[in-house]
Amino acid sequence: MKTAGSTFYLLQTILMLFFLNSCTHEKVISLRSLLIEMTDREAITRFPNPSYKLIQQSSYDRNSISPDSAGWFANNDYTHFIREEENESRLEYVMFEADGPGAVVRWWMTFGNENALGSYIRVYFDGDPVPVLEGMAPALVGGGQLAPSPLSAAVSPLTKPQRQGYNLYLPLPFGRSCKITLSNSNVVITPERRTPSIYYSISARLYEKGTRVVSLTPDMLSADSLTIAECSTILTGTKVPDTRSDRRSSTAGRYPPGAACSFRINERNRAVESLTLRLDATDTVSALRNTRVRISFDGHETVDIPAGNFFGTGYAINPYRTLFSSTDASGSMVFRRLMPFREAFTLTFLNESSDTIGIEAVIKTTPYRWDRYSMYFGASWHEYRDMETAGSENTGGSGKHYDLTFVGIEGTGVYAGDAVTVFNTADAWWGEGDEKIYVDNEIFPSSIGTGTEDYYGYA
């Protein structure tokens, strides 16, 4: 069984039409502005201006051509590149290439063996033949060469180096173009063989034409070192940015099956700054699965999700902490995404379990300036039961693969992220299954990756 939750912000249709005729290009995108945006919880509540689209280029198996092709679920997702080039007598494999203005915003890699670990990366901007960044792949991407954790991190530290997931979230802005290459003397690519196993996915924003983007230089990494460090600290949740919350509502009580604990706020131009929930139940698993979180903004219900999924802890209390949410060992769960509304906000915790549940909840709100770019927060949840693990036919699996829909969204908005919980009864399940993200009725997904475990930054 698999459950998946997705979060997003949606712009009302009337606001969307106004926006489409009101684009400006005054904002300048830079390393510093992108770092600040990453920790600015208000930024994602407004439709981006200037606007952008997200693309991803990866080592996915090139036999995946279309859903009706035999190779759609091909899984040799390694050592595939755009092309190979000779540069100053060395062979470079092009991993990523895009015309700007834009910014690389997520980069993941892993390696099948030690020979693959010996890969050297070069990052070129704006057609300059001299790379702006270069270094051994593990150190450059996930080893902290460019930024501290969590902007650059390898997981799990208990895993052998060649099997760790190397992640880079440090934004790499470029004004006109970006090309990323890999060199490794051990690479052999023939129709019959690809070795060693090198996996990667690189995601980038491509801004609308005319957007001013300042391309990254090595000097900027030094000049903005304090901003990089501040961003890293805030993202871990160890330092929550100052808030302007000036209203607090709370309740505590015991609710029998079918009963609901509700809040309603009628006040103009405000935003929920944080939600805190603690459930007291004999059966914690049941409480987390069967306490529904329902939220409406200005009369529009956009959230209806089990509490454990909404707060990112699943069906057990798993202590963790990030900027946007956290759970501690006492069972206190906090959600800190900013959720604006114009006139009214309604929150309900509904007990759909068969036992009485103690509910303690706190809501904090803050003033918010609603404008033509503002969006409502939304979140969806799906559960799939009795799913057969297809596996490869040559290893005893059924080979009956299929695409599983996480979420389908209509309207103008920004996709904020997702989480997945898996109840696994197979002896081994790697999470294979390439993420495919279609935007605005694309025929082929603008993001196609190398496996679910890689999508979530592992390996």
Given this model, what pLDDT does residue 399 score?
Answer: 75
**Helices 225-235, 31-39: crossing angle, 10 deg rounding:** 20
My answer on whether 34 and 2 are in the same domain is no
DSSP result, 165-187: EEEE-S-EEESSEEEEEEE-TT-
My answer on whether 144 and 251 are in the same domain is no
Given this model, what pLDDT does residue 393 score?
Answer: 64
My answer on whether 43 and 93 are in the same domain is yes
CA distance 105 to 56: 10
Q: pLDDT averaged over the chain? A: 91
Q: Angle at Cα 201 formed by Cα 61 and Cα 401, nearest 5°?
A: 40
My answer on whether 297 and 386 are in the same domain is yes
pLDDT in tens, 287-297: 999 999 999 99
My answer on whether 298 and 316 are in the same domain is yes
My answer on whether 385 and 443 are in the same domain is no
pTM of the model: 0.91
My answer on whether 292 and 235 are in the same domain is no
DSSP H helices, 224-329, are: 225-235, 284-290, 307-310
Boundaries of domain holding 130 = 25-239+430-455
My answer on whether 8 and 149 are in the same domain is no
Q: Is beta strand 28-29 parallel, antiparallel or unpaired with respect to 212-213? A: parallel
Maximum pairwise Cα distance, the chain: 74
My answer on whether 143 and 252 are in the same domain is no
Q: Which of 3, 7, 55, 4 is nearest to 415 (CA)?
A: 7
Residue 396 scores a pLDDT above 80: no
Least confident of 216-220, 231-235, 245-249, 424-428: 424-428
My answer on whether 254 and 351 are in the same domain is yes
pLDDT in tens, 234-271: 999 887 766 677 888 889 999 999 999 999 999 999 99
Q: What is the CATH number of the domain that holds 5?
A: 2.60.120.1390
- Where do we find the tokens 């590149």? 81
Give the number of domains in the chain. Answer: 2
Q: Which of 236, 198, 183 is nearest to 454 (CA)?
A: 198
Q: Which of 36, 7, 54, 18 is nearest to 338 (CA)?
A: 7
My answer on whether 212 and 346 are in the same domain is no
Q: Which of 248, 346, 270, 258 is nearest to 302 (CA)?
A: 346
My answer on whether 211 and 280 are in the same domain is no
Residue 397 scores a pLDDT above 70: no
Judge contact between 421 and 318, C-beta under 8 A.
no
Confidence of residue 412 (pLDDT cuts 50, 70, 90): very high
